[in-house]
Chains A and B, each alone.
Chain A
Amino acid sequence: DTEVTQTPKHLVMGMTNKKSLKCEQHMGHRAMYWYKQKAKKPPELMFVYSYEKLSINESVPSRFSPECPNSSLLNLHLHALQPEDSALYLCASSKPYSDEQYFGPGTRLTVT
């Protein structure tokens, strides 16, 4: 199984809502990532978890809160988002340290 799954595929939320994005992989990868991708732009690294510990936070606003409950799951909790946070949120996984990343299909988020 070389698949990274993400749910939901699409999400529309208001600026006062709280929602969560989910990501799952069963490849035994111990590094997991969240990226944000705006239209016609490259993915931007947000967070990296290595062995279930947050190892990189690219100065992401606190309205985005990542969580890694176990080695297969990665969540991104969203609260009080702004319309400019509307984007495709991509999850990826890899073996730790400089190795091929597998990406999920992404969650298309719209903040109204």
Chain B
Amino acid sequence: GESVGLHLPTLSVQEGDNSIINCAYSNSASDYFIWYKQESGKGPQFIIDIRSNMDKRQGQRVTVLLNKTVKHLSLQIAATQPGDSAVYFCAENKAGNQFYFGTGTSLTVIP
């Protein structure tokens, strides 16, 4: 299927700093995007989503930005905490119920 890729496979940040995780998607027809957090030994956990008619959405300590012009998605985590250490995936909804995941970024928070 279409690829959803991430620019950086690993990211290390100091506790309290902000984190930015990026994702590039290739299907301009995709209309819905989700960010997931996956901790070791667990299933992916929904963080935040955004539809293609928006360019920004905020949650608690997280913000997703969507740039449709360059087909780029980013997840910003404010005041990163040790509990934020995990692998983060973006997922793209091409049509109906077809979701495709990006390669993932492993975030490590340094105390």
Q: Which A residues touch B32, using CB under 8 A?
A: 98-99
* A-side contacts of B44, CB under 8 Å: 43, 90, 103
Please, how many angstroms separate the alpha-carbon atoms of A33 and B45 in the complex? 15
- What is the chain B residue whose CB lies nearest that of A108? B41
Identify B43's interface contact among A96, A99, A106, CB under 8 A. A106
Given A42-B103, A42-B104, A58 and B97 contact (CB-CB distance below 8 Å): no
Residues in A whose Cβ lies below 8 Å from that of B104: 40-42
- Chain A interface bracket (under 10, 10 to 19, 20 to 34, 35 or more): 20 to 34
**A104-B98 in contact (CB<8A):** no
CB pair B45–A103 under 8 Å, yes or no, is: yes
The residue in B34, B42, B97 that gathers the most chain A C-beta atoms within 10 A of its C-beta is: B97
Interface string of A96-110 (1 = CB under 8 A from B): 111111111110000
Q: Which residues of A have CB within 8 Å of B84?
A: none
Q: Tell whether, in the assembled complex, residue A100 and residue B46 are in contact, meaning their CB atoms are under 8 Å apart.
A: yes
A97 contacts B99, CB within 8 Å?
no
Which residue of chain A is the closest to B30 with respect to CB atoms?
Answer: A98
A108 to B42, CA, bound (A): 10
Q: Are B43 and A97 in contact, CB atoms less than 8 angstroms apart?
A: no
Q: Report A's interface with B, CB cutoff 8 A.
A: 4, 31, 33, 40-45, 48, 50, 55-56, 58, 90, 92, 94, 96-106
